[in-house]
Amino acid sequence: MSAAKASGASAGPGGAGDLSSQRALSGGLPRRLAAESPAILVIGDVMLDGWWSGTIERLCREAPAPVVDVTSREFAPGGAANTAMNLAALGARVSVAGIIGTDDAGATLRRKLEAAGIDLKHLHSHPDMVTTTKIRISSGGQVMLRIDDSATAVPAAALAALASSVRAAVGHQDAVLVCDYGTGVLAGPVRAALGEALRVAETGVGSVADRPLTVVDAHDPRPWAGLRPDLVTPNAQETARLLDLRLAEGNGRVETVTGHRDALLSSTGARAVVVTLDRDGTVLFAADGTTHRTWARPAAEKQASGAGDTFVAALTLARSAGLPLTASLDLAQAAADVVVHQPGTSVCSTAQLARHLESFADTALSADELVLQVSAHRAHGQRIVLTNGCFDVLHSGHTRYLNQAKQLGDVLVVALNSDDSVRRLKGPGRPINPGADRAAVIAALSCVDYVTIFDTPTASPLIRQIQPDIYAKGGDYTPEMLAETDAVEEYGGRVVILDYVAERSTTAVVQRIRDGAVANPGS
């Protein structure tokens, strides 16, 4: 699929992508994306990460500092180079544009990128450049020290060579991913050359419909606003600097960022902004009004680095291959969740991502198992939200509604109608997908904590057993219309009716599939 189509409205939230996203988080999706093999240029600050570990048994004589006897030395591409490694591991055809030195670190970095099959004809070496290196020294699983080595200035000749190279590199790419860590490699000449190559003037006026998908991952996205990027991905600290404010911890950060969505879109010049909030997942704001949350599945503190690189790589791959924006975001969150469980600077491969998503199969809990889990959460003061439905063919109305439900409390439980129950409700031709498949896809959504399947005419018996703090329902309902309302009110729970998305209907999607029709944007 061309990048123009991927970045256009037809692949956006609610567009034609709804037909392709019914299995958006199934284990087979990473393999299908890898088969697309989009061509992606990564331009930016390539680095070499070192992970040295050893034992500590004494203090040095010169100062009260521990002596680390190094037992292992490992090196991995870092920064923009790690992003490129992730893209290659996920099946993209990757080119890297950047500047390194002719030093040992540069030679090591070049060898590792070449071994991954990455095109390096736009990676320039200069004798007066120092390859940026970050060495972490650890003992007993704890990082004790990080040593950074980088150039104080980037040679003008190297900048000129990279700028010239960028003009040629952009052609025939499905996506261009800018990784700007602020070292000076992407200074004015290079940024201007990229703008010229993308046919976007520095004033932000003028572009062509078939330009590559443009993603900016920068410490400061504002200098890149003239490119009018399709996506920018600031983290919490970068967002705070953009907004000139302090972000509170926890969910307060989401509320603060959401209140400044217009300022973020305006200052970055982007069609969509994805703010990454580490343990709190991500939040998306698009110029068309779309919002979307993901929730991270964090690991215990480990020696992990580069989850943000994995996230932006998976997001760029999915969008350049034509996956809808919200589904791309959930996929990228899943890839980041894989990496945070791995030590060092690591990547998420197609096989790893597929296994991670496939692990959600057969994850539906019985009602008795669910009671035990919910009781543990309630003991920690967490609010339980429950919703139910068939969720036969997943579409953007579902994901929007489930995102809203999650934000009503701390733990979201989704109860699925059994296959027999769906047939009773929808007719003999349904469900399209059996209960195990529906449960696996719903469980893979980052906003969902638990899935269960019920076979009763209504969810009332399950509600009485679980006693959620909030029972959420999406659709054209009032609480009085719901059979479950009495069960909720018996124990003092609350019924919340979420947004009704009239133009999103599973029945309509199924009918379009059976008719062989292609959805129009917004249909």
**Positions marked catalytic:** 309
Rounded Cα–Cα distance for residues 448 and 250 (Å) = 18
Residue type, 432: I
The rounded radius of gyration (Å) of the Cα atoms in the chain is: 24
Alpha-carbon distance values, 487 to 417, 461, 463 (Å):
18, 8, 7
Coil, strand or helix at 453: strand
Two structure tokens written together for 291: 């919002």
Strand locations in 360-418 (E): 384-389, 411-417
Rounded Cα–Cα distance for residues 134 and 274 (Å) = 27
Rounded Cα–Cα distance for residues 118 and 13 (Å) = 31
Two structure tokens written together for 75: 């090196």
Rounded Cα–Cα distance for residues 519 and 513 (Å) = 9
Rounded Cα–Cα distance for residues 273 and 284 (Å) = 6
Q: Which residues contact 379 (CB under 8 A, 6 or more apart)?
A: none
Rounded Cα–Cα distance for residues 204 and 225 (Å) = 8
Coil, strand or helix at 276: strand
Helix or strand run (H / E) with residue 308:
helix 307-320
Two structure tokens written together for 6: 């991927």
Q: Name the residue with tokens 């217009």.
A: 262
List b or e across 394-428, with b for residues whose CB sees 16 or more CB atoms inside 10 angstroms: bbbbbbbbbbbbbbbbbbbbbbbbbbebbeeebee
DSSP-based helix, strand, coil % in the chain, nearest 5: 40, 25, 35
Q: Which residues contact 230 (CB under 8 A, 6 or more apart)?
A: 7, 213, 214, 215, 270, 271, 272, 319
Alpha-carbon distance values, 108 to 74, 100, 133, 151 (Å):
11, 11, 11, 17
- The one-character DSSP state at 45 is -
Two structure tokens written together for 70: 């190094």
10 Å CB burial of residue 172 (0-12, 13-18, 19+) is exposed
Alpha-carbon distance values, 383 to 377, 403, 477 (Å):
8, 15, 23
Rounded Cα–Cα distance for residues 123 and 490 (Å) = 67
